[in-house]
Amino acid sequence: MKLNIAVLPGDGIGPEISAQGVEVMSAVCKKFGHEVHYEYALCGADAIDKVGDPFPEETYKICKEADAVLFSAVGDPKFDNDPTAKVRPEQGLLAMRKKLGLFANIRPVQTFKCLLHKSPLRADLVDGADFLCIRELTGGMYFGEKYQDNDKAYDTNMYTRPEIERILKVGFEYAMKRKKHLTVVDKANVLASSRLWRQIAQEMAPSYPEVQTDYMYVDNAAMRMIQEPRFFDVMVTENTFGDILTDEGSCISGSMGLLPSASTGESTPVFEPIHGSWPQAKGLNIANPLAQILSVAMLFEHFGCKAEGALIRKAVDASLDANVRTPEIQVEGGAKYGTKEVGAWIVNYINK
């Protein structure tokens, strides 16, 4: 198989973890006889600094022509601390999703036996938790009509039937592949947009008779994720609720540096870690590369390369079991490993 991969390292720790993802992908391709070509492109604050646009047209062309995008992170404090800034790194991420038609964000939430003690929740609650959060990515308040002056501001949370139907279809189909349990998360007791979501989900559910379909208000879902995370199998929700719930879900594992994600839709799929750019750690070689590396596993699996994805997951599990870990998840008294060292250990494991 020949793969043309667009690599968007972005900001902060992005270039450091991106390098490890590329090394792992190259090792897997060599082992399984695949050809891979990488095309690097600007995005985020780095792109603003260099060309004045967080998602330049040249970057869009590179992504559009690629088989997949390996993305890392965007964000910089100099924009976060300036509420008057008209151009922001995160606008590049939104533009990428919109231009590539990436309407479905797939975020697995899972725990690792050897890291249960790192979760902020009790081990008996999180042990065995394994579910998917499916977030709609290109509609809702993030893309609706906006207004702001000194005294008033609003964001419009608008959804159309086709937008809702296509993301719910993704949710039902993933549920069919897993434990056949789908939870539709909304706020239908208050929001008109949520009532349309629930109406359409109820219309579609009979087409998937094997799937147990639940309906849950977002506040209840947030509470249930903490009280009983094993309840969920596949969760599907709109953009804003999904943004919040997926970050909440990421804490269950004990570190945001452990979980990957995929964004799919009409064009080139994007694979990325769920965490941000962590600018405070830039250049310190302490960022956890596992979420980026597991994003590579999801990339291979997307193209039907199950053995390749399984090998990466096996290598990650082995590194954790061997206590080859970055500082935030290392056991007390364990050896010190940085971003590069963890990545190199996993590459060596793959090359065996």
The catalytic position among 76, 99, 174, 187 is 187
CB 174 within 8 A of CB 106: yes
Q: Can you say whether the dihedral through the CA atoms of 245, 249, 254, 256 is positive or negative? A: negative
Q: Specify whether 233 is catalytic.
A: no
The catalytic position among 127, 130, 214, 247 is 247
The catalytic position among 50, 82, 154, 219 is 219
Q: Specify whether 243 is catalytic.
A: yes
Q: Specify whether 187 is catalytic.
A: yes
Distance CA 23, CA 5 (A): 13
The catalytic position among 53, 76, 142, 337 is 142
The set of catalytic residues is 142, 187, 219, 243, 247
